[in-house]
A and B are shown apart, each in its own frame.
Chain A
Amino acid sequence: MRLRYVATRVVASVLMALAATLVVFLIAHTVPADPILAQLGDKASANAELVARFRARWALDRPLWEQYAIFVGRLAQGDLGESIASRRPVLVDIGQYAPATIELATLAALLTLLVGVPLGVLAAVKRDGWLDHGARLACLVGVSAPTFWLAFIVLALFYGGLQIAPSPGRLDAGAVPPPHVTGLFLLDSLLARDWPTFRSALAHMLLPAAVLAASTLGLITRTTRAAMLDVLGQDYVRVARAKGLTEGGVVRGHAVPNALLPVVTLGGLAYAELLAGTVLTETIFSWPGLGRYTYQSAIALDFPAIMGVTLLVAVIYLAMNFVVDVSYSWLDPRVTR
């Protein structure tokens, strides 16, 4: 039964990812613009022979259905085609930009969880105390402050003013990146036992990660708090208290594990959102990640790149949903029964 369930899910996921690409493909093609005319310089775009050659190169001279069929055919062979803007395989582009984003999003997600969950638990336990009010204010600021503003204020304060943060970018200017294994600088520098690079990469990542975390922190903290309050009012918690357990024991042993379910769901989706890239934070922190790439592809109407990014984002969301479901059964044994 279980195997069949997994198989159904995998098939459904593939179909959903494809459906997402089809929708984006159709939407992108409604824009009344020609990526070749938009890309070429003024002189070259008046050169009919050159324009025709470029159109043919990206199959833009074919009917729409055929273009989509070409995309799917290539996809089946693990090829996302060539980007019109960068003139490289889209896979190579994504392979370059994705690690920067994965690293940053993961750190941001860790920050969110490590701060948000305890804060939400404490806010619920000390309901209406100063900590609860403080947490509420912090969440409100984090959620409502515009990202570009927050990013710039943080940069101006820690980099420009206090001068304790390093320059925007993944490493210092001209610094040699660690030998390429995964593209994740933290991991690669660890593998190479290159401590100065590890420290530098981590230091460069802290501010943008904190800015990204700020937007999701509020969500996680408030959800944790609400779930905790709900659980703390349940009968089994009262029973645990009646048994004479300490308050800490009640919270750790009975309340928190039960309150985590909605947090995991939201956390998974929030992480997927971070992975999809955030243009504004990446722009201000000169972070060569997926957000910038997606934005650049969109404004250039770079169809292959847009399709590649769409597929990637769809896969990320589907994968995160899957991970969330699996973790449910781990957190709550009833789900598997």
Chain B
Amino acid sequence: MKTVRLLVAFLVLAACASPVPAMAAAKTTLVLGVDISDTRTFDPARQFEYSPPITMRAAYETLVTMTPGDYVRVKPLLAKSWKLVDGGKAWQFQLREGVKFASGNPLTAEDVKFSFERLQNVKDQPADLTENLAAVEVVDPLTVKLVMVDKNQPLLNVLASITFAVVDSKTVQAQGGTSAKDAEKADKATAWLDAHSAGTGPYTLTSWVRNSEVVLERNKSYWRAPAAFERVVLRHSGDSAAQLLALRRSDIDAALNLTPDQLDGLAKEPSLRLVSGTSLDYMYMTLTGSAELNKALANRAARQAVAHAIDYDGIIKGLMGGHAIRPASFIPVGLGGSTEAFTREVGYRQDLAKAKKLLADAGVASGFTFKVSYGKASIAGTSYDLVAQKIQSDLARVGITAELDPLDQATLRTQYKEGKTQSVLTFWNPDAPDAYLWAQPAVGRVSKRVHWAVPKEVADLVTRAGGEADAAKQTALYREFQKILVDQANYVILIQPVYRVATSKAITGYALTAAGWQVDLYDVKPAK
């Protein structure tokens, strides 16, 4: 039979093709298993998703940076020193000498000017981060001055964000880039920047295939000691179980998207290592202040009752396996004087008697009903669904009925941003680490969504805190602000996750950072 012969031929072909056991990655190549499906671009003037900064931080550098664990004091990178000038209205940076781009072009103040002005004029999403940048002035080839719009608002710490990557102006211009006022229409460099890079970083981007992989190669003209690997591959894997298999087979050196269960199961494997880092991200619940949306919640005492009925320790221990902390309110632990001790001192804790008393104060002693909306997604492997169910059962103990309302992410985000929700469970992850970028929205755009009419003195308090140069005074101001938020009870912060990554012991130096780029690949090296 013809078909049978064909079948045999096919099977023979298949047999020759299949037994190619993938060679264990040679130590010259570092392979990360990571979900990169959110990547849409690597152009610093346009990129704002979650996973791309891993790649961008390897290819680009910023004037200042942050080291893991310290998100308050910036460290030098392309700038070796900086100072406030012009009566505190501008920051002046002294650039490092001898730094070259991957192209061989030397780094100058003109490149800084071009990069930041292009960022502003392309007018894509990240341009928002430049709102306090009035002008970029070249003082001399290695000195650049950044003039602020308002000297009481932050700028320095925001510059550590990869959005402020310094690009090679000559190369980007040669590829159709421009920093002129009409850059929104005229700039054509994005397509090139999606497949190449034009930075001073230890690696250069050499290819990106969407939903598949990103390849970086060592930058031979790097200004520090050359990078440890010839190549870095970010291998797309959207399924955590498949990622785990690949890690066990040594096809990848690090798995970035494992679930808590999988990670716990790996703890004892001799060839693997778990690394962890506290993030600045958190899952929070909002409670509306609008009587139109929910009559009971419009009463502060009722909102406080909700906040005091939730079993926070149970969520962190039971659902997150203890791999999380929580701040008192909208400013995450690690910034603006927010610490775990401060949370214990002023934050919410489960107190059912107090919750019942608050319900009585609110005139709803027998409880009330409200709707909690959330997306079908999960954070550090724990689904919103699970957290919502836990909260529902906690609240039932004091007679409050939480109706669960799972939505697709697009609908949830729309409804929430338009201020139409009674309560949401959602997520906050930072644009850049500066407490002001949390405090300001808490009295700004987010307060509108929860229908909190912020008193002027509270808004002023945030402004004063943002502009305070003295660290101790700033801490005191932010703490005072957090106490007000706790009392106001529109925001209930539930989980600030401690992220974990499993790596092979063939590599070392993998350290998680919460500053926005997850890991600095330059620090990762082959184990001796």
Contacts and interface: CB of A to CB of B under 8 A. Distances in A.
Chains A and B bind each other: yes
Interface of A: 31-35, 37-38, 40-47, 50, 53, 85-87, 96-97, 110-111, 114-115, 117-118, 152, 155-156, 159-160, 163-170, 172-174, 177, 199-200, 202-203, 206, 252, 283-286, 288, 292-293, 296, 299-301
B40 A85 contact: yes
Interface of B: 1, 3-4, 6-7, 10, 13-14, 16-22, 25, 29, 31, 37, 40-41, 46, 48, 123, 125, 128-129, 209-213, 215, 231, 233, 235-239, 241-242, 245-246, 248-249, 251-252, 408-411, 413-415, 417-418, 428, 431, 437, 441, 444-446
B20 A288 contact: no
Contacts of A96: 209-210
Nearest to A163: B21
Contacts of B16: 199
B332 to A, nearest CB: 14
B239 A206 contact: no
24 contacts: A32-B415, A34-B418, A44-B125, A45-B417, A46-B441, A50-B128, A87-B46, A152-B242, A156-B245, A163-B249, A164-B18, A164-B19, A167-B235, A168-B242, A168-B246, A173-B235, A174-B233, A200-B20, A203-B17, A203-B20, A206-B18, A283-B239, A284-B239, A286-B236
Given A38-B410, A110-B10, A288-B211, A152 B428 contact: no
Given A37-B414, A301-B410, A114 B7 contact: yes
A33 B128 contact: no
Given A174-B213, A288-B209, A46 B18 contact: no
Contacts of A47: 128
B431 to A, nearest CB: 6
A86 B36 CA distance: 13
A51 to B, nearest CB: 9
Contacts of B251: 167, 173
A230 to B, nearest CB: 20
Contacts of B428: 42
A38 B251 CA distance: 35
Query: Looking at chain A's contact residues, is the secondary structure mostly helix, strand, loop, or mixed?
Result: helix
Contacts of B413: 33, 37-38, 45
Given A35-B410, A202-B13, A50 B249 contact: no
B21 A33 contact: no
A200 B414 CA distance: 44
B119 to A, nearest CB: 14
A114 B10 contact: yes
Contacts of B37: 292, 296
Contact of A167 (B129, B249, B417): B249
A288 B41 contact: no
What are the 7 closest A-B residue pairs judged by CB atoms, nearest first?
Answer: A46-B445, A38-B410, A288-B211, A33-B410, A33-B411, A160-B245, A33-B414
B418 A37 contact: yes
Contacts of B252: 173
A168 B235 CA distance: 10
A114 B6 contact: yes
Nearest to A160: B245
Contacts of A46: 417, 441, 444-445
Among A156, A167, A206, A285, the most chain B Cβ lie within 10 Å of the Cβ of: A167
B125 A286 contact: no
A44 to B, nearest CB: 4
Contacts of B418: 34, 37
Given A43-B128, A46-B441, 20 more contacts: A31-B410, A33-B408, A33-B415, A34-B410, A34-B418, A37-B413, A86-B40, A118-B1, A118-B4, A152-B242, A160-B248, A164-B19, A173-B29, A173-B213, A174-B215, A177-B209, A202-B13, A202-B17, A286-B236, A288-B211
A173 B31 contact: yes
Contact of B411 (A31, A50, A87): A31
Contact of B242 (A114, A252, A285): A285
Nearest to B13: A202
Given A114-B10, A165-B18, A286-B235, A170 B212 contact: yes
A293 B210 CA distance: 10
B18 A152 contact: no
Nearest to B41: A87
Contacts of B237: 168, 286
Nearest to B40: A86
Contacts of A168: 237, 242, 246
Contacts of A163: 21, 249
